[in-house]
Amino acid sequence: MEYFNFHTHQFTNQSNVLELVNQYPKDFDAEIPFYSIGIHPWYIDESRIDEDLKIIEAKLQTQNCLAIGECGLDKKIEVPFDLQVSVFEKQLELAEKYRKPVVIHCVAAYQEVMAIKKKRKVTVPLIIHGFSKNNQLAEQLIAADFFLSFGKYLLKNPDLKSVFQNVPNDRFFLETDTIEESIQQVYELASEYKELNLIELEEVISSNYRKIFKQ
């Protein structure tokens, strides 16, 4: 594995890239080799929650399912927040049961996500995907034992450079999410910001991958 794409919605099938492809229970594609699966807060359907959780639980027991998610909390949508919390907590229970990391979508609810982790004594790795906030929040999350994944906003927002530089090397991943740019482009910018050559960066990410995914 030269490159690890922590979170993507597009399977590109490159031989030198391990892609953790985001999947949804009702649209599951068995052709994708490695994936995460979860109920995104945007797509919570109360009539499907139990059915979706059963599908997720079945997939978590397979080797190809590396993580649960993306799931989490989003205060900018109309889905009732209490419902979001309930669905998120049920997925955290499954993550604990099957010892899988969690890919977290979080919008304007970081304090709540940290509080839920503490309240429920979650011990599996929790990774905030698409991190785009400031140093203070990054430090809070890392102190609370979260990991951060960078991609879209790292490419598009120069102000994120110092935040990314300050994240310890054993606490981050890189991703493409929904952007058209390649994971190789994300790695190139990250290597420049971290003042590492590409081989050194690949080893950092590979080490983090082995630690989190027990591979």
pLDDT per residue as tens digits for the range 154-188: 999 999 999 999 999 999 999 999 999 999 999 99
Token pair in block for residue 103: 């890919």
pTM (predicted TM-score): 0.97
Strand order in the sheet with 35-37: 3-8, 17-23, 35-37, 65-74, 102-107, 126-128, 146-150, 172-174
Partnered with residue 127 across adjacent β-strands are 103, 147
Residue 215: pLDDT band (50, 70, 90) is low
Domain boundaries, the chain: 3-213
Instruction: Tell me the per-residue pLDDT of 51-77, one tens digit each, with 9 for 90 and over.
Output: 999 999 999 999 999 999 999 999 999
Q: What is the pLDDT of residue 214?
A: 82
Separation CA 188–CA 209 (nearest Å): 18
Domain 3-213: give its CATH code.
Answer: 3.20.20.140
Above 80 in pLDDT, residue 36?
yes
